[in-house]
Amino acid sequence: MAFSTTMLAWGVIDFAEGHEIAGQTEYGRAAVKWATDYFLKAYTANNEFYGQVGKGDIDHSYWGRPEEMTMERPSYKIDEDHPGSELAAETAAALAAAAVVFKDADPSYSEEVLQVAKELYDFANNFRENYDVSIEDAYYYYHSFNGYGDELCWAALWLARATGDDTYLTRARENYDEFDISGYLGTLGWDDKRGGVFSLFWLLTGDSQYSDLFVAYLNWLKNEADYTPEGLVALSDWGSNRAAANVAFMALWAAKNGFDTESNQEWARRQIGQMLGDNPKYQSFVVGYGVNPPEKPHHRSSSCPSLPESCIGAFNNPGPNPQTLYGALVGGPGLDGNYTDDRGDYQHNEVACDYNAAFTGALAALAEIS
């Protein structure tokens, strides 16, 4: 959720013109604030932050409306005795990015979220531990494969951008060197912020050390990766559209900042086009949009009939979801290009907040150049 918010905010900031063209600026701000308001409530005391509600196995076994959940849903927090650096740092990044979003639109709110961002970054940096050691249930669902070094650096960079204070840039460099973030593992995502780190360092310093890394990172993702037969960059069999949308966002950001502009714009346009239905199979992957869109996404509440009807048996309903989840990007095709609109196929037909986060920013970027 925190990463999704950071990416949403980044799109609102750096593709502001596209949001204006589409009439989505206020909606973008509202979406960011919906999340950051929640983060403020989850920050219950200094160095205390609630990071999870519910147990993964119990929640996943339930199929129905969220407002009708009656099972026990315990809450889990991180604190000085049970730290969680990835969680605290990514939330700090989200709040710092939100501070930039609201700097002119709502200065008092901007100051409020920025102060909490500073405190959460200090918490993450001073009390270090993988968050899924402290919140053990998260290990089985959102395991931190990449550690917390990239999140610490990412948060410091967003704070540097939000405050203009070079102290945070110094801390980002310290985190960068300490954790050897110059390598890269895969596309920017909830577990790996390295691509974002390279880009923000480039933006804030203009240093060729970082621009060269960012360009190499982006070219590696675009040129070394496999593609589905239809032309979607195939970086993950689970949520392939999410991974492709994240790279498209980065390519469009690079283009706007003067790197290989026409090539990056065209590559990203093709990738986003794949998701919108501009592909050999004429298959849209956006619910409620385009030709042959998904009708049975893996999404509990939209699969339920309207109240007062019961949602029992909705998972196995052979028909379309009764509620249309307009705009949701489903996971996408497998690495072989195959896709079936199957409610039970969570790898390829699930929806999620982070699936739409960079996708939204990429659409705004394309609106600027259309």
Residues 6+ apart with CB under 8 A from 147: 86, 130, 179
Whole-number CA gyration radius for the chain? 20
For residue 49, list its beta bridge partners: 43, 78
User: What is the band of 185 on the pLDDT scale with cuts at 50, 70, 90?
Assistant: low
Q: What are phi and psi of 287, to 5 degrees?
A: -60, 130
Pair of tokens at residue 312: 């029992």
Catalytic annotation on 341?
yes
Instruction: Give the pLDDT confidence score for residue 33 in this predicted structure.
Output: 99
User: What is the band of 221 on the pLDDT scale with cuts at 50, 70, 90?
Assistant: confident
Residues 6+ apart with CB under 8 A from 126: none
DSSP per residue, 251-289: HHHHHHTTSSHHHHHHHHHHHHHHHHT-STT----BTTS
Q: Looking at this protein, which amino acid is placed at residue 224?
A: E
Mean pLDDT, range 133-152, rounded to an integer: 96
- Give me the torsion for CA of 191, 248, 155, 199, rounded to 10°: 120
pLDDT exceeds 80 at position 127: yes
Instruction: Give the pLDDT confidence score for residue 106 in this predicted structure.
Output: 98
Catalytic annotation on 57?
no
Q: Which fold has domain 1-207?
A: Glycosyltransferase (1.50.10)
Query: 324-366: per-residue pLDDT in tens?
Result: 999 999 999 999 999 999 999 999 999 999 999 999 999 999 9
Q: Where in the chain is the domain with CATH 1.50.10.10?
A: 1-207
Catalytic residue among 86, 350, 354, 368: 350
Q: Looking at this protein, which amino acid is placed at residue 222?
A: K
DSSP 8-state secondary structure symbol assigned to residue 192: B
Least confident window among 29-43, 172-186, 253-267, 345-359? 172-186
Query: 75-88: per-residue pLDDT in tens?
Result: 999 999 999 999 99
Catalytic residue among 17, 119, 129, 341: 341
Task: Give exposure, 71-108, as e/b (b: 16+ Cβ within 10 Å).
Answer: eeeeebbbbeebbbbbbbbbbbbbbbbbbbbbeeeeee
pLDDT exceeds 90 at position 12: yes
Mean pLDDT estimate for the chain: 97
pLDDT exceeds 80 at position 187: yes
Q: Return the higher-pLDDT residue of 236 and 185.
A: 236
Q: Cα–Cα distance between 195 and 216 in angstroms, integer? A: 10
